[in-house]
Chain A
Amino acid sequence: MKTTLLKSVLLVFLAAVSWSCSDKDKVDPAPPSLANSWKSGWDSQKVLALAKGSRPLPEVYLEANYVTYQLSLFEKGATYLVPKSTLDNYGRDTLGYPDNTQFVMAAGEMDAMLVKTGKDISKIETELGIPAGSWKDKPMVRISIANPKELNLRLPSGNEMGANALWLPGGKLPTGYSEAVVNRIPKSKYTETPL
């Protein structure tokens, strides 16, 4: 009788502990950091020491969970900025460099950046590392891609036409925003919005 009572009390106690440990108390694991995601023998300098055109795919030197996490940031869409005059000059049928690449930011990060800068063009230039004055007095357009996975979304290798001397491996701009690459974008896969 005493044993049964003790067992009952124990069961009630365990149920109470289980109930108190609800999902809301669980802490999401911290996102993987680039610093901790290099595969053995690799670092940023080693990638950058390789000539453009000869750099390996990021999957060669970055842990898979980091790559997966970085790309997950684009699940709500990808986006980039371009002067309207450039769009008018090169056309809207298919966007992107001739090597079948176009760099993109995560839509949420672009939204936050535009709020942060108040859409001040000179401040946006600074945030994105654009040479000062490049966009002065130019009507700008935001290109939005709802489903970048359809366009082979991937982390940049640094071999892309749009990768310049400031490019860093790891899917992040020097200013910290996330970046990825998609294939050239057909007209049916993007929307154009004045900035």
Chain B
Amino acid sequence: MKELEKEGWNYTLFLSEDKQLIFSVVCGSVGLYDFVVALNREEQAAYGSRGKAFLGELARTIRENESSYLTRRISI
């Protein structure tokens, strides 16, 4: 995968070989883990228009509402 964006100890955005945008968010407190999702069309469009500002907001949303993203969670 190719790394497209990164904010230290916050998130990383990758481009997969099949051209999916893969978003990895650092989560956790006394145990850190990566929560990874593939961006859906709306999120891809938002990233396209707003860039890293959108990614920061999405990272915060995922970190604070993991249960809402559990069905989309993938492993890399």
Q: Which residues of A contact B (CB under 8 A)?
A: 52, 80-83, 85-86, 89-91, 94-98, 103-105, 124-125, 128-131, 134-135, 156, 160-165, 167, 173, 177, 179
Q: Which residues of B contact A (CB under 8 A)?
A: 6-10, 12, 26-35, 60, 63-67, 70
Q: How long is the Cα–Cα vector from A129 to B27 in the complex, in angstroms?
A: 12
Evaluate contact between B30 and A104: CB separation under 8 angstroms.
yes
Given contacts A97-B10, A97-B26, A98-B10, contact A131 B31 (CB under 8 A): no
Residue of B26, B31, B67, B70 with most partner-chain A CB within 10 A = B31
Evaluate contact between A162 and B28: CB separation under 8 angstroms.
yes
Evaluate contact between B26 and A90: CB separation under 8 angstroms.
yes
Evaluate contact between A86 and B32: CB separation under 8 angstroms.
yes
Q: In the assembled complex, which residues on chain A have CB atoms less than 8 Å from the CB atom of B31?
A: 80-82, 124-125, 128-130, 135
Evaluate contact between B34 and A167: CB separation under 8 angstroms.
no
Q: In the assembled complex, which residues on chain A have CB atoms less than 8 Å from the CB atom of B26?
A: 86, 90, 97
Evaluate contact between A91 and B32: CB separation under 8 angstroms.
no
Among candidates A94, A130, A165, residue contacting B28 with C-beta atoms closer than 8 Å: A130
Q: What are 13 contact pairs spanning A and B, CB under 8 A?
A: A82-B31, A90-B6, A91-B8, A103-B28, A124-B31, A128-B30, A131-B33, A131-B35, A135-B33, A162-B63, A164-B66, A173-B29, A173-B30
The distance from the CB of B16 to the nearest CB of chain A, in whole angstroms, is: 16
The distance from the CB of A30 to the nearest CB of chain B, in whole angstroms, is: 25
